Structure formats: structure tokens, C-alpha cells
Structure 1
Amino acid sequence: MSQLSSALLFDAVHTVVAAVQELNRSQNVGATQLSCKSSKIWEHGTSLMNYLRMVELEGLTGHIEFNSRGQRSNYALRIMQNSRDGLRQIGQWHSEQGLSMEKKLPSLNVTDTLFNTTLIITTILENPYVMLKANYQELEGNERYEGFCVDMLKELADILKFNYRIKLVSDGVYGVPGANGTWTGMVGELIARKADLAVAGLTITAEREKVIDFSKPFMTLGISIMYRVHLGRRPGYFSFLDPFSPGVWLFMLLAYLAVSCVLFLVARLTPYEWYNPHPCLKGRCSLLINQYSLGNSFWFPVGGFMQQGSTIAPRALSTRCVSGVWWAFTLIIISSYTANLAAFLTVQRMDVPIESVDDLADQTAIEYGTMHGGSTMTFFQNSRYQTYQRMWNFMHSKQPSVFVKSTEEGIARVLNSNYAYLLESTMNEYYRQRNCNLTQIGGLLDTKGYGIGMPLGSVYRDEFDLAILRLQEENRLEILKRKWWDGGKCPKEEDHRAKGLGMENIGGIFVVLVCGLLIAIFMAVLEFVWMLRHTPGTELSVCEEMLRELQGIVLCQDSLQLRRRRSGGTSTLRPYPLPVEDRRARPTGTSLSNGRLCAGTGLSEPLSHKLAQEAAIVARGCSHIRICPECRRFQGLRVHPPGTPRASPTHSDDSFEWDKTTNSSEPE
């Protein structure tokens, strides 16, 4: 290209000189001083332009002639072909006559320049581009090698009909410029004409393009960061608590306690929560009960929070207000918990100290580096981006050196130390498929491509460009990439299909269930022992009483049992052990559910005693006696234990008193 420019410049000067000579013959041409700010022009300028249009001569670039508009005309261009015998003319293009070829153009598949030609291929061992076979010592020549580039060479050889011989580069590097302008590696061998092609993962860069030629890229990629996997804690038995932080769980507990206390206080203050449980005795009974005892006040928010409800229904406006805001609170809490639970149980989050190249550049605890003598090292060395310049200064000044001689050495350093390796994304993907302890951090730092290197001015460049385009159109390169990249033992990162949860994910809720059941059984035993200890006249031991009770449970006996106690040859009915509050001395009047009097104002003692006797008859199976359905809600019937003061001296031993029940809405 420089020779053509020199020839055109020579012809241009020669043409101007010829025009000035013709102008000088007709008039005296002299130099005149002109100013760029003035509109005055050279007096001989128009005449010189006319003489330039009339020039006709033969120059280095052929016949020189101009038309009336000052454009070159009546000239021809020769079409040359570079062959083993040198340049030879195969056609001509004339500005007036057009194109005329002396012979047909060579076809793509069988060319005069590549047909049956043996090319020297320089390459470097790099997985999965060029690798030695397992039994390479038993083989010879090209059969010792395998990989993506080896298969691509076979495809190109089938299309262009050439032979090749693979030779490994002597110094084992891709190629970087030296201090004296020389190049190392495969680039240096192409410059020295020791090889015809460089087929490997050779990156196309502007600096390399100045000294060698590249084909069209056969693969696109970018620089990426490789780091070892840092897994967070594995899902534990109590991972179902992860959707909320410990602080949120603490505030939820405080909110529960606050709502329970406020509910108890409000229910006791409002008069609308105190009501008569016996509508049939209205006007004759002064009994008023409140369903919000301290235990019920703590139980009601639990039922709402667990979305199971409760048989306790608020009656007053104030208690309904407390219940409404608590239900709204639980609605949001439960919805938020459910939305986050799936993610926390199924996704094992990564605990990575760096998430991007900026994080890597802003710290010094994690070392990072590249392959020495590669394009990635050159990229950081020549970059003008502030972050990449800071990274290059860190890598260049770090001792011991953070640069490695091969990708395998870089990967081993990543796995065995706190080190991040910068390499091409295709190699990163290949090694991550085969080692599950490796991961990619962030995206790509740049975009570039791999190409086939050739000596500068190579006659094979266009033919290899067309052959690579043909392989891409037929998807042959994509098939080769899948062949050598897929097949790793690690699952793909984009595979997000749902997987079944194991016991390590939700085993904690089973632990909570078992613990709750054990606590319930333990509390039931304590209650049984406590009430038995405070019941007078008990002759059996605690173990015997418990065995008898378990026997009744196994035999499915009725829970309401009237047991006989022998004392001095007589038998009296003994109920199930009474609570402590039922064994207190009662004032005059009939004792009902909560120990308050149902007599005095409107109910006479004979009437209350009659109701108790009727209830006792019903409990014994007399179906012809009926009692008020509202009053029948009080279920347990017991007699007065010996030594307990009677409500009235007229009561017989067979009279019963109402069992204490706070839940007035049990089944009738």
C-alpha cells in the first residue's frame, strides 16, 4: 500500500510540473505574496488549472489524463494474483471499457494457492483447544493432539483441500512484544515465517494486528473473574426461621405479649364482656362471667396468629378493635413469611466476599492476576480506564508475582489460596463445568474474539475467512464447542428447576412438634400429680392412680367416672379429684360454674337444689328428666367431698354441684 501511495505522489508532482512548464511558455509566471485573510487570488491560478486539464503523459500508475471536471479518465487497473511464482496479472479494469478477466477465478474449495499444500501450524497446549491424547506417546504427528482447534483444523482442511503439520510453540507463550521490538511466542514465529498459521485460543488485539494478520473471529468471548466457591451455611434444622431476622422474631414476641395484656385489661374494664351464662334464669340469678381470663387472653392471639381461630368471640367494641388490629398484623406477617420461606428453604445462597470487578479492585486482601504473556495481561497493561489501571499497578508491583505461566497453575492457585484469576470467559466456563468449587464473579470486562493468526500479507487470509464463515453458517463451530465444553460433572448455573426439600431444610419443624408433644405430656402428668396430692382421702399411690387412669383411656371409658371409695363398710360416691378452688369453703347458696353464688336475690335455695338433683339424675341416665339446654353447658357433675362445707344442711349425700367451666360454648 505504501508503494502505491508513493507512485501516485510521484505522478501527481510530475503532472503539476508539466502543467507549470506549459504555462510558463505562454506567460511569465512569478510568485506573489498572498494573505489567507484577503480575498485576492493568484493571478495565474485559473490558467494553471486549465493547463492541468490538458496534461497527458505516461506515469508510474499508467496513462494520466483528466476530463473537463478535473477527474482522471481513460486509465486502467491491472488485477494481480499472488501465487508461488510471484504476482501475475489475471485481469484488467478500464475506466471506459470496464472489467476484462484473462482467466476464471479460482473456486473456494479447490484453490491454486492451498490445494495439496502442507502448512506448518504453530499452537500451544490449552484445554480444551489443543490437548495431548491419553496415549499420545504411542502416536505420531497430528494424531497425538485433540481438542476444539484440532477438530476445526480438520474441518478447514476438508473445505480448502490442504495438508497441515501441528507444531507446539517453543517458548510456550501466546506472544507479547519485547523491549527491543521483537515478539515472543506464536506471534514471534509467524513474524519470523517459521509457521504459516497459528491456530489456538489466540486473541485478536490491535497490537498484534500491526505485526500479523488475523482471520475473522471463530469465537467471541471476554475477560472474566474466576474465584473459588464460598457457600453460606447449609440449611439447618431451624432454617424455617431464616425469613425473619432475630430482631423481627423478638418484636413479634413482644407484640404478642402486649396484645394479650391489653386484651385482658380491656376485657376486664368493659362491662359488655361480663354476661349471664344462664338466660333461662334471667332475673333470678346474679351470676356474671367473663370469658377473657388470663389464660384465654393469652390463648386468643395464638389462635389468630396461627390462622386457626378460636371459640372465644369478642363481644365488646373495644375487644373487637384489639382483635381486628391483631388480625391485620398477623395477615401481613404471615404473608411476608410465606413469600420468603420458599426462597430461604430451596436456595443455598453464595457468601462471596467480592461481587464485581470494582469490589476486587477496591480491596487488597484477595490477590488477583493473569497469565504472563497473554492478551489479558496486555489488556490491563494498555488500559486507560481508572479501575483497570489501578488493578494493573497492583498486579505489577505485587511480590511474589501474581502472574502465572499456565491456566492450570492459575486454577490451582485459586483453589489453594485467597486468589482470583482473570482469564477468558470460554476457559472459565470450561473449567467451572469440571470443578464445582470454582465460580465466575460478575460479568465480562470486555468483548473480543479468537482468530487464526497468519504472517503479515498472507495470501491465505481471504480463503480462511470464507471457510470460517461457512463453518459458522452451518453451525459446525457451535457443534464443536458443545462437544468439548459440555459433559462436565457440575450442574449448569442457569438450571433453576425446583427440587424437593429434604429433612435438612424443614427438619426443625418436626423437632418443634415433638418437643411440643413431650411438653404437653409432661404438663399433663404434673397436673395429674398436683391435683391428686391436694385431694383428701386418697388411698392409692400416684403410680396406681395413673395406671388406673391409663387403663381407662385404653379401654375407652367415659371421662366422667364416679368411683367408689370403701370406708368403714359403707360406700360413697367419689368424683374425679376436684380443683383446689372447688374445694374451698362455700358460703350459703348453691355453687355453680365459677364458684359464685346463684341465690339470694331471685333464686330460692329449694329451686337451686332441685336443679342440681335433676342434673344428677340426667347424669345417671334418666332420660325422662330434662334440664335447660343453656344450663346443660356446664358438663362435669361432682358431689361434695367429705369434710367440705355444704351449701345447705338440707342437701343429701347424693346431691351434686356444678363443675367449674369457663368455656361456655362447649357442645351441648
Structure 2
Amino acid sequence: MALPLALCLPGQHVDPQGLHPLSPPGLLNLEKLLRQFLISKDTLSVRMLDDTRDPTPLLKEIRDDKTATIIIHANASMSHTILLKAAELGMVSAYYTYIFTNLEFSLQRMDSLVDDRVNILGFSIFNQSHAFFQEFAQSLNQSWQENCDHVPFTGPALSSALLFDAVYAVVTAVQELNRSQEIGVKPLSCGSAQIWQHGTSLMNYLRMVELEGLTGHIEFNSKGQRSNYALKILQFTRNGFRQIGQWHVADGLSMDSRLYASNISDSLFNTTLVVTTILENPYLMLKGNHQEMEGNDRYEGFCVDMLKELAEILRFNYKIRLVGDGVYGVPEANGTWTGMVGELIARKADLAVAGLTITAEREKVIDFSKPFMTLGISILYRVHMGRKPGYFSFLDPFSPGVWLFMLLAYLAVSCVLFLVARLTPYEWYSPHPCAQGRCNLLVNQYSLGNSLWFPVGGFMQQGSTIAPRALSTRCVSGVWWAFTLIIISSYTANLAAFLTVQRMDVPIESVDDLADQTAIEYGTIHGGSSMTFFQNSRYQTYQRMWNYMYSKQPSVFVKSTEEGIARVLNSNYAFLLESTMNEYYRQRNCNLTQIGGLLDTKGYGIGMPVGSVFRDEFDLAILQLQENNRLEILKRKWWEGGKCPKEEDHRAKGLGMENIGGIFVVLICGLIVAIFMAMLEFLWTLRHSEATEVSVCQEMVTELRSIILCQDSVHPRRRRAGVPPPRPPVPEERRPRGTATLSNGKLCGAGEPDQLAQRLAQEAALVARGCTHIRVCPECRRFQGLRARPSPARSEESLEWEKTTNSSEPE
């Protein structure tokens, strides 16, 4: 019996294991089993019943030691008693495996077992298909029903079956001996030295016997030992025991794993599992109208939907129950565990479905399924958003100091340009190139107004009609243009960011920045996997963070995620939590942001008690959900839908009036100032002009009428600034000379003026009547501003030309 048991245990994948013989002599029968555990690294604890034969204290010790596999080496009656006591203690469940070494145990009735999911294995040598076995069992049951209230066995005892097979083998051998020779009946005495003459022949025929008895195939070797027999390996199901394997004395162990797995799957069918969990968004939440509902309908969330998917695949029922202390589970000083992990260890729940992180410490006391979600620890912090773009946000690319220095640079360039243009002789040029020999006047285009206007045109990228002539003024202009090129390029590059992006003010950018400072407090959930990660980490930065969190007073640990989020929003606090929760809350509160990347990589799994037979089934179901993309769909359902946009969405958005409204304000203000200045110029001109027959109101109405009617821009003078009163008529003797001079500008002689002379005279009169500083050039027909060239001696020709020009007014 020890050898098939030793071979069968590794296939069960359960640990630890316990051996409970009825008496010390029973250990001698399992010598090979003990040797097998001495060779291997598996654990085998041996316990024996005391003299009271009460298994209850022994079973309580087994329950407290979290033993998963229990080997019972006792007779059939005591084995049945031990199983009944285990059922009273709640130890007959799917998390315990019982292996009975008694070959009669499979014949006992299991009607009293409450949970038919219990994994019970046994061995049998009975050949229940034998006709003698059926007849024997029927007559035995009929006798028990007539004399007993309860039928304890469904077949004969092992001793009775072996006795029957022994008699059957002897009878068969005697019959074969009688066929070969005549057997005489001769009385013999056990005390006599005389032997039976056919004894040796009968022993030889016994060694030659091969038959099928109640205990299977009967055959003996040359030494007279039974050989070529097999033991059936049976597993208990709701329909009774079923053969899942066989151990043959010659061929060894052969197991049918499909039957074993199918029994586990069948045990899940229509079975109600207790699910322990914890309230945490978005994994498990109470519905808004949960007071009006009962049972599982009160809850919603990612885990609820995942449970529905798993229940549909594995065909089981479940009952959601919130954990009593509201924590995930941490070890206590006395070795016990709290939270959901503690309930799984105590077998109070079948599953723990929540954001339960798979850790090595938890894996020692409970089993986990394959991870249904991958994540890592991240840093959640409150972000201080920069002010939203205002009407004058187009000024934000440069600081006020830069704008001030730009204004000073503009004034400095204007002054230097005015000074350089006045000093250099190359900016003074003749206004009438075609009359160089007769004109002694020079013009400089860089007046104070033009010197202020020229840098403005260059800064606005528009240019002006003023072109520098001298090398010095060109140098000033080139430097100013290079300056404006860099300024405009920098402004344009930063303007888009300032108009479309709200800058975030984050004082830390990584976990190293967080660990190197003390102004910002940081912590995690007390008793969670993140706390265990920092506590057990050997990385120097994480060790410093754990020392800070552990010694900080008041405590920086929080009891729940919601408490941590509230602390982040209301104080200078950074919260260390799983990246999935980080993502969920960031999408629902735009003042939260993630700092840096992930600190580690781990996964969420479904917790189960140690030795759970459902583990493989849930692993396959989770893989099926992942392959069908159902888990990703569920995550998008419960994570998305927040009011904050995705950080990955960098598409450009249209600018509104709140972004660029300020430039419209500047435009409107500029237009208003221009209109106001025009009115002031108009009134100033009227104020300093000589009185005429036209009133101020009439002049204003006339100008407005011409503006509204879009009349021609050329009209007779009424009143203009700076126009002197008309001169007296020129003497008659000077007219021919002046007219002849204006006709072609070269003193061709006297005579009547031609049409060109008349047209030039009219243009000069309309533009600058009576003005001594403006004239129409007869060569190039341009209006020129005149300035007397400093010369000690003025030629008679030039003086007469000037007089003639200044007095050239048409009548």
C-alpha cells in the first residue's frame, strides 16, 4: 500500500501533507512512503490518535496548521468517523484533500457529507463487476436491512472478500488436482508426523491458479506470493466514487488526468462560491439605489462585471461579501493575517476578487490565479495650473522686463540713427539731381520723425520708403533688423504654446526628486502591497523613502484610496498608489497628475485558499477573457468617461476670443487714438489759421460729407495748416522770365509758356501755394524740399533760379 500511495501523492500538487495513522504499528506498513518523503523535499507531518480515539483535537491542530492534504491510515470504521468529525469542523470542503489507505473505504456511504466538492481519494482492490460480488453484496445488504436501521457499507468487508477468494483458489486447485489423479480421503492428524501424499501436488496447482475473484485477478508466483494484481485509484464525486487511475504491481501508476480535471469542473457547476472583496472605485462600488436592492445586485464595477464573465464560462454562482476590517491583508506579529487574505486562510471565503496585488509574501499563505491586470506603483500629485490665457496673453511669451528693454532698445536705435544720419555727409544729397550745377541745396531724409518711424517699420516686418545711403546708417539698420529677426522668431515660437497650453507648476519630476526633498509629504495605503514593496525593497532610494514614511509623525499612511486623494487635494502631499488607480482618478480630477513613470511592475490576481482545486479552471477562464479582449473592454468601460482630456491627445485646438481677444482690443484702441488725433489736428489747424468766410462747423460738415460720399481727394483749398496768405501779384516785367524758367528749367529765353509749363505751375500752386520750401522740378516733375547750401558766394545764376522758382505762381 505504501508504494502506490507514494507514487500517487506528487500528482495531486498539494502541500503541506499530514499522515495520521491509528497506531504506531501502522507506520510499519507505510515504510516506503516515509522513505519517499525523506528523499524528497516535501513536508510530511505525522500525528497519531491518543487513547481516547477522539479525532476532534487532532483535526483542530490540522486546521490551524493550514494542512491541505490529509492521509488517513486507519480501518474503515475509524476513517468514516474522522471524516464525520472533519465535516463538523468545516474541514470537508474543496480546499482539503483526504487520502484513505484503507481498501474498504470506497464501500462506505457518504450521504452525511454536506459539501460534495471535497476531494477524497481512496484505493480499492474489489472487482465489483464480478457476478459473485454483486450476489454477495445483494445478500449482505438484505441482511443488514432486516437487522439494522442503517446500512454502513455497500459491499462485503475486505476480510470476507479475501477469504472468499482464498477458498475459491483452493477449490480451483483441488478440482484441477482431482482431474489429474484420484484423491483419496484419508484422515490425518495435525499432531502426527505423517503428511498428506497429495500436498506437494496441491501446492503446485495453487501456484498455477489464474482466476478473477472478488479482489480482482488472482495469481501467485513461484514463492507462493500473490502477483500480477492491481489497485484502483478512486475519487469521490457527487455520484459516488469514480476510478481515475490504477496502480499495477508490474506496470506501475497510470492516472487519467482528464477525469480528474473534469471532476473539478463538474464540482463548480451550479456551486455557490463566497467572494470576499472591498469597496474601491472602480473595482467595486455601491449603486446609487443600493438600499432598494439585495444581494449581488447592490454592487457594480469592474470586478462585478468580471465575476459575471467568469461565472458564465465556469457555470458557478457567487455571493459577494465585504471584508469585515476593510483591508486587503497584512501579517500580524503573531503570524495571523488580516483582511481578505485572512478570510481566505481561515477558509471563510472561496475567492478574493478585488485589486489584490500578487506578492511573494501573500503567495506563501494563499493561492493566486493568473494576473488579470498588469500595473505598477506610481506617484499622484496635485498640479497647480497656470493662469488661463487672457485677452492680453499675446504678451506672455516675453516677460515685462523683456518688453521694457525692447522699448528702450527701440528708442536707443532711433536716437543713434538720427545722430548718425546727421553726422555722416553721405545722407545729405541734392533734391534735384538733374540740376546739380545750378542747385546748392542738400536734403536729409532722416528727420526726427522719420528716425522714429524707420525702426517701427523694420520691427513690424513691413519696411518703409526710407532707404539708408551711408555705411553707418546701413550698419545701424542691419543690426536692428538682426535684432528684430531673433525677437520675432522667439516670440512666434512661444506664442502658440502660451495661447493653447495651460502651464503646470510641478515642483518634482521623478521619484528621486521626491526622495531628495522634505517639503512635500508622501505616503501610501497602510497594509497594502505598495507599503510592503517599500518595506522590503533593497534599492537605496526606496529604502530612504520607507524610512521617511515609517518615522514621519503624524503618520503619512492612509486607510483608503479616497483618503489619500483627499489628502493630495487639500495639502502638500504626494500619494503612492497603483498606476490603474492613478489613471482612474486623474481622468476625473484635472488637478491631479502623475509624476514620473512606474516604480515597479506587478499584477492583480484572484486570491484563493491554499490547495484550491479551482485554480486551474480560473486560470483558463482568465486567459480566455484576455484572448477575447473582454478584460480590456471592461477596463475602458469603467476607467474612461472622465471630464479631463487624455494626456496623449495633442491635437491642436482652435483659439477662442479668450486667447487672442487682446489683440483686437489693441487694434480698436489704436483706431480710436488715430481718430482722436485726427480731430485734434483738425481743430489745431482751425485754431491757428487766419479767419475766412468758412466756419469751423461748416468745414467739419464739408469734410465728413466728402468722406461719406467718397469724393475725389483733390479739391480747391479752403483752409490748410501752414499756408501763408496769398502774395501780391508779381510785377509784369518778371512774368516772362519766370514763365520761361518753369517751362523747361534751363533759361531757354523769353516767350509765351507752353502747356508743360502751365501744368507744372498749376500742380505747384495746388500743392504748395506761396510755399518757399517746396517746388515742382521741371526736369523730373517731383516735389522737392529745399535747404540752402552753405556757400560764401552764390552765383548769379543760382540766385536768379531761386528767385524765379519761388515766385513761379500762376495767376
Q: TM-score range by the shorter chain?
A: 0.7 to 0.9
Deviation at 1:506, TM superposition (A): 1.0
Aligned to 1:308: 462
Aligned to 2:493: 339
Deviation at 1:216, TM superposition (A): 0.9
Deviation at 1:187, TM superposition (A): 0.5
Give the Cα separation in 2 of the matches to 1:343 and 1:110: 62
Paired residues of 2:264 and 2:613 also in contact (CA < 8 A): no
What is the RMSD computed on CA atoms of the aligned residues?
4.1
Aligned to 1:380: 534
The one-letter code of the counterpart of 1:215 is: S
Paired residues of 2:765 and 2:809 also in contact (CA < 8 A): no
Give the Cα separation in 1 of the matches to 2:810 and 2:264: 117
The answer to whether 1:577 aligns with 2:714 is no
Aligned to 2:119: none
Aligned to 2:316: 162
Deviation at 1:11, TM superposition (A): 5.7
Q: What are the residue-to-residue correspondences of 1:215-614 with 2, within 5 Å?
A: 215-537=369-691, 545-556=699-710, 562-563=716-717, 576-578=720-722
The one-letter code of the counterpart of 1:628 is: P
Bigger drift between 464-473 and 351-360 goes to 351-360
3-state SS of paired residue (2:782): helix
Using a 3 Å threshold, how does the CA distance of structure 1 residues 330 and 206 change in structure 2: closer, same or farther? same
Give the Cα separation in 1 of the matches to 2:320 and 2:421: 93
Q: How many residues align?
A: 550
Give the Cα separation in 2 of the matches to 1:445 and 1:187: 24
3-state SS of paired residue (1:119): strand
Aligned to 2:143: none
Deviation per residue, 1:181-222 (Å, 9 max, x gap): 110001011111111211111011111111111111100111
Deviation per residue, 1:532-587 (Å, 9 max, x gap): 444345677766654554445445455555456xxxxxxxxxx522179x99xxxx
Query: Percent identity at matched positions?
Result: 78
Paired residues of 1:435 and 1:490 also in contact (CA < 8 A): yes
Paired residues of 2:331 and 2:338 also in contact (CA < 8 A): yes
Deviation at 1:274, TM superposition (A): 1.9
Paired residues of 1:614 and 1:627 also in contact (CA < 8 A): no
Aligned to 2:780: 630
Aligned to 2:174: none
Paired residues of 1:227 and 1:421 also in contact (CA < 8 A): yes
Aligned to 2:762: 617
Give the Cα separation in 2 of the matches to 1:450 and 1:532: 88
The answer to whether 1:116 aligns with 2:270 is yes
Deviation at 1:236, TM superposition (A): 1.8
Deviation at 1:174, TM superposition (A): 0.5
**Larger RCO (alpha carbons 8 Å, 6+ apart):** 1
Computing the radius of gyration from Cα coordinates, the structure with the larger value is 2
The one-letter code of the counterpart of 2:762 is: I
Deviation at 1:415, TM superposition (A): 2.7
Deviation at 1:472, TM superposition (A): 0.8
Give the Cα separation in 2 of the matches to 1:285 and 1:615: 19
Deviation at 1:99, TM superposition (A): 8.5
Gaps of 5+ in 1: 13-77, 565-574, 584-597, 637-646, 658-668
The one-letter code of the counterpart of 2:512 is: D
Using a 3 Å threshold, how does the CA distance of structure 1 residues 81 and 506 change in structure 2: closer, same or farther? farther
Give the Cα separation in 2 of the matches to 1:269 and 1:650: 32
3-state SS of paired residue (2:415): helix
Using a 3 Å threshold, how does the CA distance of structure 1 residues 139 and 498 change in structure 2: closer, same or farther? same
Deviation at 1:81, TM superposition (A): 9.3
The one-letter code of the counterpart of 1:175 is: G
Using a 3 Å threshold, how does the CA distance of structure 1 residues 115 and 276 change in structure 2: closer, same or farther? same
Using a 3 Å threshold, how does the CA distance of structure 1 residues 11 and 152 change in structure 2: closer, same or farther? closer
Aligned to 1:38: none
Deviation per residue, 1:465-490 (Å, 9 max, x gap): 12211111111111111122122233
The one-letter code of the counterpart of 1:442 is: G
Paired residues of 1:83 and 1:113 also in contact (CA < 8 A): no
Paired residues of 1:80 and 1:87 also in contact (CA < 8 A): no
Bigger drift between 201-210 and 386-395 goes to 386-395
Paired residues of 1:109 and 1:159 also in contact (CA < 8 A): no
Paired residues of 2:385 and 2:591 also in contact (CA < 8 A): no
Aligned to 1:587: none
Give the Cα separation in 2 of the matches to 1:542 and 1:295: 29
The one-letter code of the counterpart of 1:255 is: A
The answer to whether 1:178 aligns with 2:332 is yes
Give the Cα separation in 1 of the matches to 2:16 and 2:482: 83
Deviation at 1:413, TM superposition (A): 2.7
Using a 3 Å threshold, how does the CA distance of structure 1 residues 287 and 181 change in structure 2: closer, same or farther? same
Deviation at 1:294, TM superposition (A): 1.9
Paired residues of 2:386 and 2:502 also in contact (CA < 8 A): yes
Aligned to 2:285: 131
Give the Cα separation in 2 of the matches to 1:349 and 1:506: 17
Give the Cα separation in 1 of the matches to 2:749 and 2:400: 62
3-state SS of paired residue (1:434): coil
3-state SS of paired residue (2:594): strand
Using a 3 Å threshold, how does the CA distance of structure 1 residues 102 and 508 change in structure 2: closer, same or farther? closer
Give the Cα separation in 2 of the matches to 1:494 and 1:632: 64
Paired residues of 1:413 and 1:419 also in contact (CA < 8 A): yes
Give the Cα separation in 2 of the matches to 1:255 and 1:98: 101
Give the Cα separation in 1 of the matches to 2:33 and 2:783: 115
3-state SS of paired residue (2:473): helix
Give the Cα separation in 1 of the matches to 2:404 and 2:467: 28
Paired residues of 1:612 and 1:655 also in contact (CA < 8 A): no
Using a 3 Å threshold, how does the CA distance of structure 1 residues 552 and 487 change in structure 2: closer, same or farther? closer
Deviation at 1:516, TM superposition (A): 2.0
Deviation at 1:498, TM superposition (A): 1.5
